[in-house]
Amino acid sequence: MSLTAKTQSFVLGMEKVGKLVSQTLDYTQRFLKAGLTTNDINDLVHDYTLTHGAIPAPLGYEGFPKSVCTSVNDMICHGVPRDTVLKDGDIINVDVTSILNGYFGDSSRTFIIGEVPARTQQLVATAKSAMEAGIEVLKPGLHTGDIGFAVQSFVRGAGFYVCKDIGGHGIGTVFHDDPFIPAFGKKRQGPRLSPWTCITVEPAINEKNSPSKEFAIPGSKITEIATESGCLSAQFEHTVLITDRGYEILTLS
Ligand code: MF3
Ligand code: CO
Ligand code: CO
C-alpha cells in the first residue's frame, strides 16, 4: 500500500518537529543544576526554539504566559516559569512543545537536581517506564483504554499512583486533538487509534494516592496542577506516530 502525498508530508513534518523537541530537551538538560531559575529554563527553551526556526507552542496558548512548562516537585504539570531557584533535591519536569512548519511536537522529561532519596529516584524511573509501558502496546485499532490499562497496571505494580486528571492527546497540525489518552482504563474501551495519526503518551505519576489541586494563571484558561497532599509527582511524555503495523516514537534525537 502506498501512502498518499498528504500522509507522507505529515509523517515527515512530524518526524522533523519531534527530533527538534528532543534536541531542545537535550540542550536544556546540560544547563540544569541548583541555582538556575525556572525563568532561565524558559529562556533556554525559547531561544533554542527560535534559533532552529520553530515557535514555542505554549507561549500565548489559551493565554499561557511562557514558552515552556516547568513543574517542580509537587507540581504535576503546567508549572509557569518564574524566579523560583532550583535547589539540590528538587525534581523538575520540563515540557517542551514546538511548532515547525505548522506541525506540533510535544515531549517532557523529569530531571533530578543533585541528590534525592531512593524513593524519589524510583518515582522518576517509574514515570519513565510507565510512559514506555503505554507506548509498547501501540498499534492501529488499539483502544485508548488499552493504553491506560497498560500504564496503570505498571504503576500500581511499582507501588505508585497515576494522576487521573491529566493524560495524552492527539497531536499534529494542532496542539491538542482527540483522542484523549488516559493513564488508567479498561481493555477494549475508548476510541480506537487510526494509522498515520499521532498521539502523545504522558502519564503523570504521584508518590501517594492524592487528589489534584489547581492554581489559576492570571489571564489564562490553563491552570497549574499540583498534588493536594504536597507529595511528589513525575512525568515523561513522547509524541508517537501510529503506523500501519505499530508505532514510531518521534521525540527522539
Ligand atoms: N505540553 C502540555 C501537554 O503535554 C500542554 C501545555 S499547555 C500550556 O499537553 F499552555 F500550559 F503550555
Ligand atoms: Co502533551
Ligand atoms: Co507536553
What are the structural domains of the chain? Answer: 5-249 (3.90.230.10)
Burial grade of 102 (CB within 10 A; 0-12, 13-18, 19 or more): exposed
Distance from residue 79's CA to the centre of ligand 1 (Å)? 9
Mean pLDDT of 132-140: 98
Complete DSSP assignment for 24-63: HHHHHHTT--TT-BHHHHHHHHHHHHHHTT-EETTTTGGG
Which grid cell is 223?
491552570
Q: Is the CB of 207 under 6 A from ligand 1?
A: no
Count of Cβ atoms closer than 10 Å to residue 213 Cβ: 15
The span from the CA of 96 to the CA of 106, in Å, is 6
C-alpha count within 13 angstroms, C-beta hemisphere, residue 236 = 23
Residues 241 and 197: their CA atoms lie apart, in Å, by 6
Counting atoms of ligand 1 from 1, which one is nearest the CA of 61? Answer: 10
Judged against a pLDDT cut of 70, whether residue 77 lies above it is answered with yes
Strands 197-201, 212-216: parallel, antiparallel or unpaired by DSSP?
A: unpaired
202 CB within 6 A, ligand 1: yes
> Residues 7, 49, 77, CA angle at the centre, nearest 5°?
85
Ligand 1 site, residue 237, Cβ cutoff 6 A = yes
CA torsion angle 133 206 158 203 (round to 10): 0
Ligand in closest contact with the CA of 240: 2
- Cα torsion through 187, 188, 191, 196, rounded to 10: 90
Q: Which atom of ligand 1 is nearest to the CA of 220?
A: 10
Q: Assess whether pLDDT exceeds 90 at residue 2.
A: no
Task: For ligand 1, atom 3, name the residue with the nearest CA.
Answer: 106
Neighbouring-strand partners of residue 177: 170
Q: In ligand 1, which atom is closest to the CA atom of 78?
A: 11
Q: Do residues 239 and 13 touch, judged by C-beta distance below 8 A? A: no
Q: Is the CA virtual torsion 135, 202, 43, 100 positive or negative?
A: positive
Mean pLDDT of 108-121: 98
Question: What confidence tier does 1 reach under pLDDT thresholds 50, 70, 90?
Answer: low
Arithmetic mean of pLDDT, 10-34: 98
Q: Is residue 78 within 6 Å of ligand 1 at its C-beta?
A: yes
- Measured in angstroms, how far is the CA atom of residue 105 from the centroid of ligand 2? 9
Which whole number is the average pLDDT over 138-157? Answer: 98
Rounded CA separation 62/181 (Å):
21
235 and 110 in contact (C-beta within 8 Å)? yes
| Average pLDDT of the segment spanning 107-121 | 98
225 CA distance to ligand 3 middle (Å): 13
CB atoms within 10 A of CB 161: 21
58 CA closest ligand 1 atom index: 12
Is 69's C-beta closer than 6 angstroms to any atom of ligand 1?
Answer: yes
Residue with cell 509523517: 11
For the chain, what percent of residues have pLDDT higher than 90? 99
Q: For a pocket test of ligand 1, which of 46, 59, 61 has the largest count of ligand atoms closer than 8 A to its C-beta?
A: 61
| Cβ of residue 61 lying under 6 Å from some atom of ligand 1 | yes
Contact 195, 31 (CB under 8 A): no
pLDDT digits (tens, 9 = 90+) for 169-189: 999 999 999 999 999 999 999
d(CA 170, CA 104): 10
> Does the beta carbon of 88 sit less than 6 angstroms from any atom of ligand 1?
no
